[in-house]
Amino acid sequence: MFTGIIEAVGKVKSAERQGGDLRLHIEAPELDWADVQLGDSIATNGVCLTAVALPGQSFVADVSIETLDLTTIGGLKLGDSVNLEKALMPQSRLGGHIVSGHVDGLGEVVSRHSDARSERFVLRAPAELARYIAHKGSITVDGTSLTVNKVNGAEFELNIVPHTIQHTIIGGYHSGSTVNLEVDVISRYLERLLLGDKAADASSEAKLTESFLAENGYLR
């Protein structure tokens, strides 16, 4: 479990294909490695990876085919920068929101423009994730916990302050950039709860729709 508050930006030291999956080596001198042990989880651009080796101020992780298919990790190259966050500890401040490190889908940066000292970004989410993105709600973009400023269909707007620009990989985003998205986990559970017994019905695709809410007394 993570908070979405990036602790350091690391760099890809190597990315080697092995038997169809990937062995990734990330170095990060700015990360505090004192409490990191083998088997610990480290969110890398929002993807929860397990440290299988800890050579110096770096870690090695094996990335499965499933993760390569569903995230941007497979596109990482030597020297690429990545957002890093160690797993949440019980005594840590929850400065962002609850982040699982399980990517829901890929988003695309539509536009970027300056707004005083901040930067405004418009991103487009996959259609199936749009219902989980709410005005002033939380979303995780490449592991960074962010607040949604506006929503327009599957597109949403983010206001990124200078500190976040300087201490994450967001400063390198441009129109067309592909990013990992994780929606607020609470919205996922809320949808399943509202579906009630229909959530267990495998004969049809259970979705939370306006007609379903009306039929079950949630709308008047």
pLDDT band at 213 (very low <50, low <70, confident <90, very high): low
| Beta strand extents in 87-218 (DSSP E only) | 105-115, 118-124, 138-141, 144-152, 155-160, 178-183
Answer yes or no: is pLDDT of 217 > 80: no
Beta bridge partner(s), residue 84: 8, 44
For the entire predicted model, the pTM comes to 0.86
- Tell me, which fold does domain 8-86 have in CATH? Elongation Factor Tu (Ef-tu); domain 3 (2.40.30)
Token pair for 169: 């990989």
* Distances, alpha carbon 79 to alpha carbons 17, 24, 172, 181, 207, in Å: 16, 12, 14, 22, 42
**25-45: per-residue pLDDT in tens?**
999 999 999 999 999 999 999
pLDDT, tens digit, for every residue of 77-117?
999 999 999 998 877 767 778 899 999 999 999 999 999 99
Query: What does the domain layout of the chain look like in residue ranges?
Result: 8-86
Lowest mean pLDDT among 7-16, 178-187, 199-208: 199-208
Q: What is the DSSP letter of 88?
A: P
Q: Which pLDDT score, from 0 to 100, does residue 220 have? A: 57
CA distance 156 to 123: 5
pLDDT of residue 177: 98
